[in-house]
Amino acid sequence: MSLIRDLMHLNKTMKIVTAVITVISVVMLVLYWRSIQLKSLGQDANYKAPMRHYSSGEKKMIRGKMKQALKEYMLAKKGLEALPEINLDEDFYYGVVLNGIGTILLRTGIYGENQLVAPENGKLGVLPEKIKESLVYLHQSEKIYKTWLQKHKPTAGEIERLKASRVGKKYEDIIPESFERYQKALSVTLCNLGIASRYLGDVEGAIAYYQEALANWPGQETAMKNLETLQKELGSPVPETVEK
């Protein structure tokens, strides 16, 4: 509880800086996700129709059209759920869409309808009920990625051999393995969960999510910046992260 009280007593300038960093971070999550998406999406023709809605929603979100973006994401969700022989409990794209829905609700919860205005009077969220609603979708997305990784993640030795085979290759020439796509997608979702926790007043929970995000994607800049900012506010050190 003392950590939360410390956070609530930040000076006004730090609150504004924190709010700006969070806005930038959420936008960066979309940009990070696009880099993953471009190398993984469209492998199966069955996904094209629902994921077309997802891509449309993504563009609308970047432009600040939250309601339209949410509608597109919901259509993508409905389309994926209608696909035959799809295991929603482990489906990569279903996790992507659920994270997208959670992101929309999270941004709306933090900033209200005006997406770039910081909360007034140091509030931890303009619409906390929307942030809580975002957790439903974000946790579903998290569960999908973790379920798949628990079953299919390679051993440490296999991962080291994969890294060795890529030495000297350009980043753009490397096609991510399935487990890498799942880990990076999980990292994005965990970072969103960290932001949601921070704005609901669960500071320790937020830090734990950021640390886990970095464990799944070392060097993930969004999680790193949010973690550093939050820990500086609290006067505690930023721990080193170990790659999973």
201 located within any domain: yes
Backbone angles phi, psi at 110, to 5 degrees: -75, -45
pLDDT in tens, 130-189: 999 999 999 999 999 999 999 999 999 999 999 999 999 888 888 889 999 999 999 999
Total domains in the chain come to 1
Residue type (1 letter), 62: I
Residue of 81 and 3 predicted with greater confidence: 81
Average pLDDT over residues 23-27: 52
The total number of residues shown for the chain amounts to 244
pLDDT in tens, 71-85: 999 999 999 999 988
244 located within any domain: no
- Domain of 184, in residue numbers: 2-234
User: CATH no. for residue 228?
Assistant: 1.25.40.10
- Token pair recorded at residue 138: 């974000």
pTM comes to 0.80
Sign of the dihedral through C-alpha 41, 47, 49, 53: negative
Residue in 93, 99, 50, 91 with CA at minimum distance from that of residue 72 = 50
